[in-house]
Amino acid sequence: MDDILPEEIPLHRSLVETVRLLFRLYGYREVETPPVEYYELFAVKSGQEILSHMYVFEDVHGRRLVLRPEMTAPIARLVAGKLSRSPRPIRLGYVADCYRLDEPQWGRRRRFYHGGFEIFGSKEPAADAECMVIFDDFLRRVGIRDYYFKVGHVGVHRAIMSAAGIEDDDQDTILGLLDRGRVEEAEESVRKLAKDREAATLFKEVAAHPAGPAIETIDELMAKLSKAERACKELENLRKIVKLASQVVEPARIIYYPGFARGLSYYTGFIFEVFGQGAEIALGGGGRYDGLVSLIGGPETPGVGFAIGLTRIMQYLTDRLMVKPQPDSPLALVAPLAEESIEFAFRAAHEFRRAGVPTELEMAAYSPSEAIRRAERRGARFLVLIGRREVESKTVSVRDLEGRFQEEWRVEEIYERAESLLGRTRVGS
């Protein structure tokens, strides 16, 4: 579990602020849930891959609890309970830290941040497509240009397996095998459990079909599955989602992987993940989960959503795109030049902050040259020098360290004139 250091916080904060900007732009209301949940919430339908990597413990009352491994189930819990009477569709967003007992490696940490968007109460393809559009919007705003959407539809797999008489729990296990790349094991399980050979053949044809441009690949697969009516209906749903998303997302970025599945067992339809150039694992993903709210005690409520892997994206920006995080620096550094000017400097620093200027105060007196050196080392743009002369005249000497000006201000002018420092940095940026 990583610490986030001072030089990393501004980049982390900018990613979070971008997520929250998108909440406002797309109409999502932010919620927050506790990091501790009941084990049963995730045991219902999260899938073995998640269950085997959860932090599980008991409290003093013997209740089995977990550190949340993901956020869709907690948000569904809210919709099933406290928000059950909210008008539909309801759009909910969150920024949250989650926990999984993974082996630490690139992009996988045991504590990680997600920025998520969930829509409840709509089965329309536009809701699924909106998820892709928002993720696309986010990537562009944070400066990632080379990426693609890996899309799939577990409804196609489930339609074939259901027609073959395979039970839901067995379907979950088979989809879990697909998610982990164990395609031959998944095909063998279908062959053993299917009540007719044709269904096993169809499943294998879907799992083995090569990935390609979304619409073109959907058409190819529909031709193969022409006799599987329900599977074709699910493929038509995927086509509508892709066509809608393609009004905003570049169509060439959307690649359909027919054998694609995700590790969470609650997915019922459209699924997707996003990959950046050179990223070993997905930067985020999501999909449709129409049965989750009712599984945890709420009314029948369709749902679709996704999470942006903020921790992964931060690592991707710094490791792959070579973005150099920079710590927050004071815009102004107030430096007393003598012991007797510290009291006056204390007041002057407050006046700058009152005007909205980020200001750091030196706690001891230094020579002018040392004050300049310390200001430059801290990344300050402006240096405010206060010596004996300034105390006597009740003034401050304000120096632009980029060499544009040096001025003397009266202390009562600081509040009004300090705003110009903010303006000057904006003009110069």
pLDDT of 157 > 90? The answer is yes
Q: How far apart are the first and last CA of the chain?
A: 36
55-64 pLDDT, tens digit per residue, is 999 999 999 9
Find the mean pLDDT for residues 287-292. Answer: 96
Q: Are 318 and 11 in contact (CB under 8 A)?
A: yes
172 vs 143, which has greater pLDDT?
A: 143
378-423 pLDDT, tens digit per residue, is 999 999 999 999 999 999 999 999 877 899 999 999 999 988 887 7
Q: How many residues does the chain have?
A: 429
346-363 pLDDT, tens digit per residue, is 999 999 999 999 999 999
pLDDT of 311 > 90? The answer is yes
3-state SS assignment for residue 34: coil
φ, ψ of residue 407 to 5 degrees: the values are -130, 160
Radius of gyration of the chain (CA): 28
425 falls in which pLDDT band (50, 70, 90)? low
Q: Are 15 and 51 in contact (CB under 8 A)?
A: no
Find the mean pLDDT for residues 171-199. Answer: 90
Residue ranges and CATH numbers for the domains of the chain are 9-319 (3.30.930.10), 332-428 (3.40.50.800)
The pTM assigned to this predicted structure is: 0.91
Q: Are 22 and 134 in contact (CB under 8 A)?
A: yes
107 vs 347, which has greater pLDDT?
A: 347
Q: Which pair of structure tokens corresponds to residue 337?
A: 């030049």
| Torsion angle (degrees, nearest 10) of CA 362, 364, 367, 368 | 20
Find the mean pLDDT for residues 277-297. Answer: 94
Mutual angle of helices 154-163 and 168-179, in 10-degree steps = 140
Q: Which pair of structure tokens corresponds to residue 422?
A: 């903010």
Other Cβ atoms closer than 10 A to 362: 21
Other Cβ atoms closer than 10 A to 262: 22
- Alpha carbons 98 and 106: distance in angstroms, whole number: 17
Q: Is the dihedral of CA 124, 127, 132, 133 positive or negative?
A: positive
pLDDT of 290 > 60? The answer is yes
38-73 pLDDT, tens digit per residue, is 999 998 876 677 788 899 999 999 999 999 999 999
Average pLDDT along the chain: 93
pLDDT at 47: 67
Give DSSP secondary structure letters for 149-203.
Answer: EEEEEHHHHHHHHHHTT--HHHHHHHHHHHHTT-HHHHHHHHHHH-SSHHHHHHH
Q: Are 164 and 190 in contact (CB under 8 A)?
A: yes
Q: Are 354 and 411 in contact (CB under 8 A)?
A: no
216-226 pLDDT, tens digit per residue, is 999 999 999 98
3-state SS assignment for residue 328: coil
Find the mean pLDDT for residues 174-186. Answer: 91
The helix/strand count (H/E) of the chain reads as: 18, 17
| Torsion angle (degrees, nearest 10) of CA 122, 125, 131, 137 | -130
Strands 303-309 and 284-288: antiparallel
- Alpha carbons 213 and 45: distance in angstroms, whole number: 31
Of 92, 102, 58, the closest CA to residue 72 belongs to 92
Residue whose pair of structure tokens reads 């007393």 in the numeric block? 336
74-86 pLDDT, tens digit per residue, is 999 999 999 999 9
φ, ψ of residue 396 to 5 degrees: the values are -130, 145
pLDDT at 232: 96
Q: Which helix (H) or strand (E) holds 304?
A: strand 303-309
- Alpha carbons 214 and 306: distance in angstroms, whole number: 19
